[in-house]
Amino acid sequence: MSFGLTIKNNNNEFLISSAMRNLHHHTTVTNPSISVVTHNYGGLSRFTYTFTLNSSYIPVPFFTTPFIDRYYAIEKVSNSGNTWTVHLISEGAYPTETDNGNNPSPGSIVETLSSLQYAGAPTQISASGTPSSGAYYAELYHAGSAPISQGTSFNGSVGVRIIWNGEVVPLVNSDSNGRVFITATNGVLPINYAVGSSGGIVDEDGDTYFPFELNGVDQPANIYDNPANYLENDNGAGANPRYESMAFYKIKQRSYVEVSGSSGNEPTGSYGSVQIPKLIVFADARAVTGSETFGMTVFKDDGTAAFDNRKNPLIVKQLTSVSIPTTATNTFSGSGLSARNASGPVSTWSTQATPNQYNSISVNTMPSNPMFYYPTVTQRHQQVSRSEIENECDGPVVKGNCLGPERDYFWRSTYWNFYRGGISRHSSTVIHAGYINVEYGAYHSRTTSSNFFGFSTGNSAGSSVGKWPWDSSQINAAGTGINTVLIGDATNYI
């Protein structure tokens, strides 16, 4: 490459490079079709998402995990022309409680908005001051030829800082003092921080913050719109900078919290809107479309886009490998299952075949509303067989011997389950790698052996009914496979 552009951060990590394709947010799908296949064997729900993307490009789908006690995985990605379909599978059937945003259900990650907070604002201007204990406020800072009090006449860079419970909140791309500098035009910052929107001032953990005016009800329309407090120093004519000013606003925090308990596994019911995983789709820069007048596009040598700021780039918080256990369940013994006609009972079969094996993987602290890229490749088949022999004699039995026509009935039933690997967000620092049951079946056979006074008179062909198991070394080979998981912050894209 003769020419190009490379941008790195302070850790010498690549942010933008004309030598590689950058992935950008393409779409977020929140209304899949839902099929609850069964509540037995741990349960299975299948979410089917569709979206449009030029077939020349390959989508990279991430998903959220509304429940912390369920495993999730991308099962299949396919397309017909420019229409793409993604199948996401989840352990569990219907949740015990339905939540559309106002009824937090057990085992879920829910969004919550704090009460209005304001305390401990400084009484003197400081570019690098340490907040007082228990302080809460949103802070705007500027040093230059014009003060923040110019309001809608102000044009220039403003430092935004959030203080929550006496701590400087680590905002995305903040400097050593915790400030993010943003250009205000006619006093307006290019941030959508209206409560109830998908905006807000976002920190590195995925929490968002919303400023409020002195009255605690209205939100500021510009940098000097009825602040809760304001400080300004005029350093006199000829000073450079002349003004140093700070505006303070009251604040609310939107965060994600875990609700303890089990999400449930009900045969009937419904999924609430916040209990449905969101599919967040990324594609490379060539797929980006937009009508913005200004921006930056980075091109490769062949003239095609490598980066395009009209769509949010994919920010990967971390990458980790997860190892799946060699078996899905250690209780599939077959005890109590019938050898005749594969008749179960289903309740016993379901209890034994429900996956219970997993590995715990420690990760760095994840965002409070994480998203995952995990296309499952691990598969596991497990089965048990039960046999029974029944003797039937048409004559007298002397010392255990049949004196007459005799028949032996041989019964054999094989119960099997087929599993796919999945992941769950067990806690903010732990991922569980386990299994989701995706298919099940049973096969049974009966043959008859006939005798007359101890002499064989032949065997019948018998009968067989049911579905053969997926018993194959090739299918099972991936059972201990290593899988890669990408983790990001969903807050940036929903």
How far does Cα 88 stand from its chain's mean position? 11
Q: In whole numbers, what is the pLDDT of the chain averaged over residues?
A: 85
Report the distance separating Cα 377 and Cα 321, nearest Å.
Answer: 13
Is-contact 494 378, C-beta < 8 A? no
pLDDT in tens, 228-287: 999 999 887 677 778 999 999 999 998 888 888 899 999 999 999 999 999 999 988 777
Report which of residues 27 and 102 the model is more confident about: 27
CB 138, CB 180: distance < 8 Å: no
**Helix, strand, coil distribution of the chain in percent, nearest 5:** 5, 45, 45
Can you say how many angstroms the Cα of residue 101 is from the centroid of all Cα atoms in its chain?
Answer: 18
Domain boundaries, the chain: 6-101+261-314, 137-257, 323-481
Q: What is the pLDDT of residues 353-378, one digit of tens each?
A: 999 999 999 999 888 889 999 987 78
Distance, CA of 253 to chain centre: 22
Q: Which residues of 153-165 are buried (b: 16+ CB within 10 A; e: fewer)?
A: ebebebbbbbbbe
pLDDT class for 478, splitting at 50, 70, 90?
very low
State yes or no: cis peptide before 241, omega within 30 of 0. yes
SS3 120: coil
Which pLDDT does position 472 carry in this prediction?
Answer: 55
Residues above pLDDT 90, as percent of the chain: 50
Q: How far does Cα 108 stand from its chain's mean position? A: 12
- Is residue 1 pLDDT above 60, yes or no? no
